[in-house]
Structure formats: structure tokens, C-alpha cells
């Protein structure tokens, strides 16, 4: 999968978060759940886990439990049970090696891949937690939109360094512009989350550049949605510190 296709997937996933964020928390949770399931299918293939469907089951179930805990939580902090879900994913990744052992020499990498994928996927629930933070609803839409624009800007030229700068500038500009459109947040809050969104895209692009291009379609899709899920917890922190009460 080439960088342009991966960037397109990132932009689409971010647009899903932005669009469902406008509709409300329940729709946002549904959109994030779909992205989580896509990630759960593709991540084991991206990291070449021996038993892909076992890893998919652990990542998918653990991340959905994390999301559910955020949705049904009554009081802040909404992410307190997500930590428990991530710990459960790590334990489950270890247990799978007992019942579904990897080939000799690949056990540690298999456990690490599943645990890491589960942690990244589960943190996508932070998008919903940010949306439930008082005053930070518009910040979620702003961050997701900035992420989509930054993803497009990250493949405009053939130079990786130039693309990185363009992605950061595009994210910051989008965040700042939407901050002026929304009365619920100051301009600097939009700028900060815009830079964070652009940084997520840049980091994933750099990691992908150093690895062989994914041949499997699902693996390529997973690499595309990774920055969207990973940015969720950063947006949540931004919502609490910059906007939320």
C-alpha cells in the first residue's frame, strides 16, 4: 500500500470521527467502534503475528470493552476503567501463548504485538471520553478535522521532510480556523490540537517509511487508522487541560 492510499485511509477515518462527533456521543462511539474493529483485523497482519485471528479477537474484544466502559461511565474521569481493559489485553496476550503457542522464537514478539495493538486500539475510546468532557465537544470535531487535513497534506510532495512540515502547518491552521468558528474554545486550544493531530500523522508516516510496505490490504488499513486512534488520548488530555471544566 502506497503512502497516498494510507493517507486517504487516515483522512477517511478522521472524517468519520469528526462527522459522528457532530451527531453526538452515541454516534461517535459507533464510529470509533468500527475503526477499532478494522484495526483489530489489520494490526496482527501488519506485525506478522503467527495466529492472526487469535490476536484479532484479543484486540477487538479488549478495545470494545474499553470503549463500553467509557460510554457507560457516570462520572469523570471516564478513562479510569480503560486502564483496566488495557491491562486485561496484556494478560490475555500472554495467555494466548499458552493455548495457541507461536512458533519457537516468536512468542515474545507475538505477545508484544498483540499487547501494543490492543493498547493503541483501546486508547481510541478517549475520543468518546473527550466528547463527554464538559465544554470539549467541539474540540473533538476540530481535532478530527485537523487530522484529516494533515493526512492529505502529508503526501503533497515527494519529500518526506517537506510533507512533515506541511502536515504540521495544515493541522495547526485547520485547528485555529475551526477554533474561531466555535465559540466554546479559545484559538490556542484549536492550534494545539491541530499540531498534535499533524504530529500523529507525521510520526506514523515516518515509522511506515522505515518498514516494508504492507502487502495485505487489512494491514495497510491498520497502518492508516493507527494515528486516528492514537490521537484520541492526546485530544482527551487537551480537552481537560485547555477547554474542559
Q: What pTM did the predictor assign?
A: 0.90
**Residue 171 buriedness (CB in 10 A; 0-12 / 13-18 / 19+):** buried
* Nearest residue to 120 (alpha-carbon basis) of 62, 181, 57: 62
* Nearest residue to 69 (alpha-carbon basis) of 51, 82, 57: 82
Q: What pLDDT does 150 receive?
A: 93
Q: What pLDDT does 244 receive?
A: 52
Domains: count for the chain: 1
Mean pLDDT computed over every residue of the chain = 88
Q: How confident is the model at residue 242 (pLDDT cuts 50, 70, 90)?
A: low
Q: What is the mean pLDDT of residues 29-50?
A: 93
More confident residue, 92 or 190: 92
Q: How many CA atoms lie within 13 A of 175 on its CB side?
A: 30
C-alpha 10/C-alpha 14 separation (Å) is 6
**Helix residue ranges, H only, 77-154:** 80-99, 107-122, 126-132, 137-153
Q: What pLDDT does 32 receive?
A: 96
Q: What pLDDT does 189 receive?
A: 82
C-alpha 196/C-alpha 179 separation (Å) is 15
**Cβ proximity of 79 and 129 under 8 Å:** yes
Q: What is the mean pLDDT of residues 68-74?
A: 87
**Domain region containing 46:** 3-243
Amino acid at each position: 500500500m502506497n503512502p497516498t492510499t494510507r493517507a486517504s485511509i487516515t483522512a477517511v477515518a478522521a472524517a468519520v470521527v469528526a462527522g459522528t462527533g457532530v451527531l453526538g456521543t452515541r454516534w461517535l462511539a459507533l464510529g470509533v467502534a468500527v475503526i477499532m474493529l478494522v484495526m483489530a483485523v489489520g494490526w496482527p497482519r501488519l506485525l506478522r503475528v503467527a495466529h492472526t485471528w487469535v490476536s484479532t479477537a484479543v484486540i477487538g474484544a479488549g478495545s470494545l470493552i474499553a470503549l463500553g466502559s467509557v460510554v457507560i461511565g457516570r462520572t469523570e474521569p471516564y478513562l479510569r476503567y480503560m486502564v483496566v481493559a488495557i491491562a486485561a489485553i496484556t494478560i490475555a496476550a500472554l495467555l494466548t501463548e499458552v493455548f495457541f503457542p507461536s512458533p519457537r522464537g516468536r512468542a515474545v514478539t507475538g505477545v508484544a504485538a498483540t499487547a501494543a495493538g490492543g493498547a493503541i486500539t483501546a486508547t481510541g475510546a478517549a475520543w468518546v471520553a473527550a466528547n463527554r468532557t464538559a465544554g470539549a465537544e467541539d474540540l473533538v470535531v476540530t481535532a478530527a478535522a485537523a487530522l484529516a487535513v494533515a493526512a492529505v497534506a502529508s503526501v503533497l510532495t515527494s519529500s518526506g521532510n517537506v510533507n512533515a512540515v506541511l502536515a504540521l502547518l495544515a493541522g495547526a491552521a485547520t485547528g485555529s480556523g475551526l477554533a474561531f468558528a466555535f465559540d466554546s474554545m479559545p484559538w490556542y486550544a484549536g492550534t494545539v490540537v491541530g499540531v498534535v493531530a499533524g504530529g500523529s500523522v507525521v510520526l506514523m508516516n515516518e515509522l511506515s517509511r522505515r518498514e516494508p510496505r504492507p502487502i495485505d490490504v487489512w494491514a495497510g488499513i491498520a497502518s492508516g487508522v493507527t494515528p486516528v486512534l492514537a490521537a484520541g488520548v492526546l485530544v482527551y488530555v487537551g480537552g481537560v487541560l485547555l477547554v474542559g471544566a
